[in-house]
Amino acid sequence: MEKTTKNIHQRIIDVMKEVEYVQKTDKKVNGQYRFVTHDSVSAALHMPMANHGIVMVPSVIELLRDGNLTMVTMSIKFVNADQPDEFIEVQHYGYGIDPQDKGIGKAVSYAVKYALLKMFCLETGDDVEKDNIDHKSSAVTEDMILARKTLLFESIGKDKEAKGFFDQMAKTYKKTVEQIVMSYESVEKFVNDFNKWKENHSQLAKTA
């Protein structure tokens, strides 16, 4: 490929001009419906992204497991190969259910697939807004709460201060500590809120 001075946005547009649609797989789920797989999306975009100098760099920000369910928060960077310090970064969530050791792979593939579909505005023939499905609340287990709390506590390394933060937030918003813990979908958001609380808490202590 001849080296160009195009920025990452122009390169993405070039890929969008080449790839408009991803075909559903012929395989049916439970004999009922077909879907677009991670492999079919990757195959459709592999060479166009390479030809236009776009490198995808996925990484796991957060991983939670509850029995056979794996949940991940992914950061996906689309990098200009000719100027690596220029990139677009997006976050996507993925879920995978597997009784053995494939849950993480399924969750990561799910998140990456939808990041690619949305980044390049690809049509698949699916219209999820037409799905007529009633909402059903899922039970939050003690293991899920403990896993999330452990992850957040470890991100700041101070259990006592984190407990003080959660107690204060629960009192302020009139929620349980468990509800506050599960409301954080990313460690980064928690750390930012915690640091702001800590700074305010320290200032109040000095003026008391």
- The secondary structure of 47-115 as a DSSP string is HHHHHTTEEEEEEEEEEEEETTEEEEEEEEEEEETTSTT-EEEEEEEEEEE-SSS-HHHHHHHHHHHHH
pLDDT of residue 34: 54
The arithmetic mean of pLDDT across residues 178-186, rounded, is 79
Burial class (CB in 10 A: 0-12, 13-18, 19+), 140: middle
Task: Give the H or E element holding residue 119.
Answer: helix 103-119
For residue range 36-66, list pLDDT tens digits in order. 888 889 999 999 999 999 999 999 998 888 7
For residue range 117-170, list pLDDT tens digits in order. 999 998 876 554 444 545 455 556 666 777 777 777 777 766 677 788 888 888
pLDDT of residue 30: 43
Closest CA to 72 of 55, 40, 97: 97
Lowest mean pLDDT among 35-49, 59-73, 101-115, 180-194: 180-194
Q: Which domains does the chain have, with CATH numbers?
A: 8-130 (3.30.390), 142-203 (no CATH)
Per the CB < 8 A criterion, the answer to whether 83 and 53 are in contact is: no
The arithmetic mean of pLDDT across residues 15-32, rounded, is 71
pLDDT of residue 138: 56
Assess whether pLDDT exceeds 90 at residue 77. Answer: yes
Tokens of 162: 């984190």
pLDDT band for position 68 (50/70/90)? confident
pLDDT band for position 201 (50/70/90)? confident
| 59 bridge partner residues | 75
3-state helix, strand, coil in the chain (%, to 5): 50, 20, 30
pLDDT of residue 125: 63
Within 8 A by CB and 6+ apart from 170, the residues are 176, 177, 179, 180
Give the SS3 label for residue 52.
coil
The mean predicted confidence, pLDDT, of the chain is 81
Residues 184, 173: Cα–Cα separation, whole Å: 14
Assess whether pLDDT exceeds 70 at residue 2. Answer: no
Within 8 A by CB and 6+ apart from 156, the residues are 162, 191, 194
pLDDT of residue 120: 95
pLDDT of residue 27: 52
Q: What pTM was estimated for this model as a whole?
A: 0.60
